[in-house]
Amino acid sequence: MKNKAVLVLADGRYFEGESFGANISPEKPVVGEVVFNTSMYGYQEIITDPSYAGQLMCFTTAQIGNVGCNELDVESSHVHAMGVIVKNYSDFYSNYRAKESLGSYLKKNNIPGIAKIDTRSLVQHLRDHGAQMGAIACGENIDISLLVAKAREAGSMEGKNYVRAVSCQEAYSWSQLPWDQTSECYPELTASELQKRPHLVALDFGIKFNILRLLSEIGFRVTVLPAYSTAKEIRAQAPDALFLSNGPGDPATLMEIVAVTKELISELPIFGICLGHQILCQALGGKTYKLKFGHRGGNHPVLDCLTRKVEITSQNHGFAVQQGSLSKNVLISHVNLNDQTVEGLADAKLKVFSVQYHPEASPGPHDSNYLFQNFYNLVVNNA
């Protein structure tokens, strides 16, 4: 018999369902921002994305769990989403690489899952009223009012800094390439191969493995540094370029990192994605704001303002750049066709650019992979 579970929102709305994954007691509920993702596949990559730290993830796809979980389809060392919300959960899985069920995987990571939820109703509620804090607990006779109070105590994602929690603590080198279908492995570059390449320093605000793989594939020698590295520590690596990664939380809380970025803007070519895009925006004098319910999924249309081509993109963010806050020197290079928000910016004179979406698309479409090549060309031509 399945254990009962409850999802409660800060505004008092609640949903009853069945528990899978970790069994979380009502005395110590899991609290986070309730958000939704419209991707049709890739749930393991999504929940292991550090950008989802502090969030309870609702999947709009009707059935989750069919392909199980494995040790390869991960984007970080562990699950970062604080909870998983689905309509129908399948404990039975079928995939040649699968090693365990999603429920088992969540349980090992002490993450609760709740199924049999009317996810359409939940998503419509979040769409109309905005993403908000919520709580998940398991068991019978749960005190809903207590969970509502816990959710309200958590406040809002505004003002929250999760970057310190998800960033690496020490510098490390990356040598892994994307998955090779023939050998069924992630190939590794040798030390001699790496030394011939331009050196890229990537600041880790919650960086995903596939971003690092694609940066390596395009031709960089990659060194990853902690998020709060100083300009002096970055310069000590003698980099040819700087990469600002994705990550969780409110970009307005990261002014120390913004100051370091601003100091290095005139020295190095810089490429930022997602949170890195928002940090670069602030370093260029712009501001950010919280979206009502954010952009999360693998089907967001973005217009490249230079080529007039439309890209279908993978997105994961709850904050955006204020268009009017940017100076006239900064080009708005990409625009979201759903709501006209800023999706990319560039300053050709300073040799910096960024996009709000995830060009590495793990999971998602590959329309934007060319941005890695553009960055490599910018760096090589700058040498």
The per-residue DSSP string of 320-360 comes to: EE-GGGS-TTSEEEEEETTT--EEEEEETTTTEEEESS-TT
Nearest to 39 by CA among 211, 247, 295, 286: 295
Amino acid at 321: V
Distance, CA of 336 to CA of 302 (rounded, Å):
5
Q: Are 15 and 120 in contact (CB under 8 A)?
A: no
Measured in degrees and rounded to the nearest 5, phi and psi for residue 8 equal -120, 135
Q: Are 152 and 10 in contact (CB under 8 A)?
A: yes
Q: Are 297 and 268 in contact (CB under 8 A)?
A: no
Burial of residue 219, with CB atoms counted within 10 A of its CB: 0-12 exposed, 13-18 middle, 19 or more buried: middle
DSSP letter, residue 120: H
Distance, CA of 307 to CA of 70 (rounded, Å):
39
**Secondary structure (3-state) at 301:** strand
DSSP letter, residue 41: S
Distance, CA of 28 to CA of 30 (rounded, Å):
7
Distance, CA of 10 to CA of 156 (rounded, Å):
10
Q: Which two tokens stand for residue 27?
A: 């005395």
Rounded to an integer, what is the distance from CA 252 to the centroid of its chain? 17
**Secondary structure (3-state) at 267:** coil
Q: How many residues does the chain have?
A: 383
Q: Which residues are catalytic?
A: 274, 358, 360
Distance, CA of 291 to CA of 231 (rounded, Å):
31
Distance, CA of 251 to CA of 282 (rounded, Å):
9
Q: Are 66 and 93 in contact (CB under 8 A)?
A: yes
Q: Are 247 and 218 in contact (CB under 8 A)?
A: no
